[in-house]
Amino acid sequence: MDSELRELYQQVILDHNKSPRNFRKIEHPDHFAEGYNPLCGDRIDIYVKVENNIITDLSFQGSGCAISKASASLMSSMLKGKSEEEAKEIFNRFHDLVTGHDISAEEIEKLGKLAVLEGVKEFPARVKCASLAWHTLNSALNEDKNVVSTEE
Amino acid sequence: MHTTTNINNSKGLDIDCIREDFPILNTTVHGKPLIYFDNAATTQKPRSVIETIDNYYTNMNSNIHRGVHYLSQISTDAYEKARTKIKEFINAPSTKEIIFTRGTTESINLVAHSYGMKFFNDGDEIIISAMEHHSNIVPWQLLKTYKNINIKVIPIDDDGNLVIDNFESMFTERTKFLSLVYVSNSLGTVNPVKELISIAHKHNVPVLIDAAQAVNHIPVDVQDLDCDFLALSGHKMYGPTGIGVLYGKEKYLKAMPPYQGGGDMISKVTFEKTTFNELPYKFEAGTPNIEGVIGLGAAIDYINNIGINAIHEYESGLMEYATKALQTVPGLQIIGNAKEKAGAISFLFENIHPHDVGTFIDFEGIALRTGHHCTQPVMDRYGIPATSRVSFAVYNTKAEIDILVKSLIKIIEVFK
Ligand SMILES: Cc1ncc(COP(=O)(O)O)c(C=O)c1O
């Protein structure tokens, strides 16, 4: 396999695609949003439980490519136990990572497993796949009532 | 310069020779030779088209229908000659009925707007099908801003055929128009448009045919079909982008108001009143896409030189071969198994998203399309978000299909 392609489809990503974590519905979530990428038809529902500003449970459902599913799965594992502010901070850093902005080794370190998605930066057409779950979470936390779309 | 002579010998088409006409086919992608299977989106252009455009700007450039000077005359001649080529290509009765537009999309918008605004009333109905491209859905919906019309939809079955058993019962005295795709860009279905046109005519309903995916694959004869309008795009038939055609029967075009106002479409202007130019100029406001028109003329020459029947026969062979070959790929499901197909095959894997297929296959040098192909209602009909689609042109080969199949099998291994 080509090395760029191997960077994009790392084993961790293939694993999360095959058996996504937290791929379920939460009954009575505190926050909920639907995300949609009209270009590829990906849809994602994000459910969040928050107690005292801490994300206590986070899950998703929907259909999408390996990149968007793995990103949602990794996000859900990573953000449980974080505060809403921390979650937004991680999203900003993650966004910098996948869009190829300079970020320090220290900051990448903080992203933990999410760093496997760095390969996306070589595939501009796939950045939206990697960030759909995050934009949707953002809108869930902000209680935007609208469906989130990757297209303005 | 290499020319396509003797490509249509007794043994069929000489595809190697045809491939040499398309400079872009020498491109390598990620170190692999390009395999271009995205022809339904746009076809590649033969050297003759590229050189015609180059020659236009090098030796002929000037505005048309305006000057008495030499350049204006030769460019006007070339422009009008292309109109005659189009007329002959679709066997239209008259060049007055050939209007140049930006493409299929603009052709349909022109009819929806001009015909619809004049002849539709609140409560009227128009009929389209469930496999329309968005460009044959949205223009009719936009009309709803002004007219309270109802859009009725001919359904499709599980195999991607139109369900036409009850077609005639869709017509009421309020039915004013039928607008129908000839060949589906996402399913490849060839619709029995001639039969449906004759049923519509029994109810005095005019019919527009979206022939965007038909004209480069099958012979199209507007008099034989007896369609009232036909829309096509140059870039899907080896011509340039930004140029298309609307064919319309003279009696309708005459009755319709202009779509846009400006230069060229008028014969006399005062501040009180404007007299519109005759057909087809009434519908060609402003300086047109001159190099596009002339380039489209060259594309038609190119098709005629090979022969649309020979192209159809060759591509049918590719379709049959590809269908069989794709069916051997484990877990691959073909979406759309209509009785008659042309040009395109859509497929899905249960566990691999089309987007991932598209990225992987790109690294094999293969260009195919993933997504909803501007036919979201078709995706909804089958409950799928997207498909991968291969679509063919005359320069594709069975050897390329073999490479596609091998590459798909490699992808399956990765996602196992
Ligand atoms: C069936 C069909 N109709 C209409 C169109 C729109 O053509 P254009 O974008 O050239 O106007 C397309 C292009 O994809 C098509 O496949």
**B30 and chain A: CB distance < 8 Å anywhere?**
yes
Contact (CB<8Å) B353/A9: no
In a domain, B31, yes or no: yes
- Separation of alpha carbons B106 and B112, rounded Å: 10
Output the pLDDT for position A9. Answer: 92
Q: Identify whether residues B185 and B210 lie together within a single domain.
A: yes
The H or E element that residue B367 is part of is strand B366-367
| Chain A residues within an 8 Å CB radius of B370 | 40
Q: How confident is the model at residue B2, as a pLDDT?
A: 47
Residues belonging to chain A with any Cβ–Cβ distance to chain B shorter than 8 Å = 1-2, 4-5, 8-9, 14, 17-18, 39-43, 63-67, 123, 125-126, 129
* CB-based contact B355 A63, cutoff 8 Å: no
- Residue B324 to residue B95: CA distance in whole angstroms: 43
Q: Judge whether B416 lies within some domain.
A: no
In angstroms, the CA B184 to CA B203 distance is 25
Q: Kindly give the distance from the C-alpha atom of residue B344 to the centroid of ligand 1, in angstroms, as a whole number.
A: 14
Q: Is the dihedral of CA B48, B53, B56, B58 positive or negative?
A: negative
Any domain includes B64: yes
pLDDT band of residue B3 (cuts 50, 70, 90) is very low
CB B296 within 8 A of CB B82: yes
B414 touches chain A (CB under 8 A): yes
Return the residue whose CA atom lies nearest to atom 16 of ligand 1: B185
CA–CA distance, B207 with B177 (Å, rounded to integer): 6
Q: Among residues of chain B, what percentage have pLDDT more than 70?
A: 97
Do B87 and B166 lie in a common domain?
yes
Task: Record the pTM.
Answer: 0.92
Whether residue B221 is found in the same domain as residue B129: yes
Task: Identify how many contiguous H helices and E strands chain B contains and give both numbers.
Answer: 13, 19
- Among A5, A40, A43, the residue with its CB nearest the CB of B370 is A40
Does B113 share its domain with B235? yes
CATH code assigned at B234: 3.40.640.10
For residue B158, tell me if it sits in a domain. Answer: yes
Picking from B215, B177, B184, the residue whose alpha carbon sits closest to that of residue B339 is: B184
CA nearest ligand 1 atom 14, residue: B41
**Pick among A40, A71, A120 to test the B interface (most B CBs inside 10 A):** A40
Instruction: Give the amino acid at B313.
Output: E
Tell me if B311 sits within 8 A of B303, measured CB to CB: yes
Residue B103 in contact with residue B211, Cβ under 8 Å? no
In this structure, is residue B144 part of a structural domain? yes
- Same domain for B189 and B286, yes or no, is yes
Closest to B353 (Cβ–Cβ): which among A1, A8, A65? A65
Question: Which one of B30, B359, B370 has the shortest CB-CB distance to A123?
Answer: B359
Residues of B with catalytic function: 374
pLDDT tier, B11 (very low <50, low <70, confident <90, very high otherwise)? low
Spatial CA neighbour of A84 closest among A147, A143, A37? A143
Nearest atom (ligand 1) to Cα of B183: 1
Shared domain check, B283 and B192: yes
- Per-residue pLDDT for B322 more than 70? yes
Measured CA to CA, the distance from residue B227 to residue B201 in angstroms comes to 9
Q: According to the model, what pLDDT value does residue A151 have?
A: 60
Contact A129 B355 (CB under 8 A): yes
CB pairs under 8 A between A and B: 56
B348 CA: distance to closest CA in chain A (Å): 12
**Pairwise CB contact (< 8 Å): B414 & A126:** no
Which residues make Cβ contacts (< 8 Å) with residue B144, sequence separation at least 6?
A: none
Number of folded domains that form chain B: 2
Segment holding B387, helix H or strand E: strand B387-391
The model's pLDDT over A72-124, given as tens digits with 9 standing for 90+, comes to 999 999 999 999 999 999 999 999 999 999 888 888 888 999 999 999 999 98
For residue B135 and ligand 1, the question of a CB distance below 6 A is answered with yes
d(CA A35, CA A128): 11
Mutation for A interface: B30, B356, B414, most A CBs within 10 A? B356
Mutate to test the pocket of ligand 1, among B43, B104, B236 (most ligand atoms within 8 A of CB): B104
Cα B215 to ligand 1 centroid, rounded to whole Å:
12
DSSP state of B341: B
Within its chain, how far is the Cα of B266 from the centroid? 29
- Across chain B, mean pLDDT equals 95
Q: B131 CB under 6 A from ligand 1?
A: no
Per the structure block, which two tokens stand in for B84? 């005659």
- Inter-chain contact B385–A40, Cβ cutoff 8 Å? yes
Closest Cα to atom 12 of ligand 1: B212
Phi/psi of residue B277, nearest 5 degrees: -70, 165
Task: Say yes or no to pLDDT of B5 above 70.
Answer: no
Q: At what angle do helices B354-362 and B398-415 cross, to 10 degrees?
A: 120
Residues in chain B: 416
Give residue A19's pLDDT: 94
Q: What pLDDT, on a 0 to 100 scale, did the predictor assign at position A2?
A: 80
Residues B76 and B101 in one domain: yes
* Helices B308-327, B290-306: crossing angle, 10 deg rounding: 80
The reply to whether B327 falls in a domain is yes
DSSP A15-73: HHHHS-TTBSPPSS-SEEEEEEETTTTEEEEEEEEEETTEEEEEEEEEE--HHHHHHHH
Structure-block tokens of residue B142: 């936009």
Q: What is the ipTM of this complex?
A: 0.86
Residues B108 and B173 in one domain: yes
Domain boundary (B304, B324, B345) is at: B304
Nearest of A134, A106, A130, A128 to residue A118 by alpha carbon: A130
Enumerate residues 6+ apart whose C-beta is below 8 A from B245.
B86, B90, B98, B99, B100, B101, B107, B230, B231, B232, B234, B296
Q: Are B168 and B193 in contact (CB under 8 A)?
A: no
Q: How many other C-beta atoms are found inside a 10 Å radius of the C-beta of residue B330?
A: 8
Say whether B189 sits in a helix, a strand or coil. Answer: strand
Picking from B304, B327, B353, the residue at the C-terminal end of a domain is B304
In chain B, the N- to C-terminal Cα span, in Å, equals 49
Q: CA-CA distance, A56 to A48, in Å (whole number)?
A: 8
Is ligand 1 within 6 A of the CB of residue B181? Answer: yes
Helix/strand/coil for B119: helix
Same domain, yes or no: B78 and B160:
yes
A88-92, B81-85, B188-192, B295-299: segment of lowest average pLDDT: A88-92
Q: Which of B270, B304, B338 is the last residue of a domain?
A: B304
Range of the domain at B73: 51-304
Q: Decide if pLDDT at B6 tops 70.
A: no
Indicate if the pLDDT at residue B183 is higher than 90: yes
Which one of A3, A43, A65 makes the best mutation probe of the B interface by having the most chain B beta carbons within 10 Å? A65
At a CB cut-off of 8 Å and minimum separation 6, what does B414 contact?
Answer: A1, A9, A14, B360
User: What's the CA-to-centroid distance between B241 and ligand 1, angstroms?
Assistant: 11
CB-nearest to B385 from A1, A5, A41 is A41
Let me know if residue B1 belongs to a domain.
no
Closest alpha carbon within chain B to A129: B355
Q: Could you report the per-residue pLDDT of B358-413, keeping only the tens digit for each?
A: 999 999 999 999 988 999 999 999 999 899 999 999 999 999 999 999 999 999 99
Q: Are residues B281 and B313 in the same domain?
A: no
Question: Is residue B363 within 8 angstroms of chain A, CB to CB?
Answer: yes
CATH of the domain at B345: 3.90.1150.10
B284/B352 same-domain check: no
Over the stretch B215-273, which tens digit does the pLDDT of each residue have?
999 999 999 999 999 999 999 999 999 999 999 999 999 999 999 988 888 888 888 88
Nearest protein Cα to ligand 1, atom 15: B212
Question: Is residue B212 assigned to a domain?
Answer: yes
Residue B100 β-bridge partners: B245
Cross-chain CB nearest to B372 (options A41, A64, A126): A41
All residues of chain A having their beta carbon less than 8 Å from the beta carbon of residue B30 are 2
Same domain, B256 and B322: no
> What's the confidence (pLDDT) of residue B1?
41
Domains of chain A: 3-149 (3.90.1010.10)
Give the mean pLDDT of B51-61: 98
pLDDT number for residue A4: 85
The token pair that represents B410 in the structure block: 């490699």
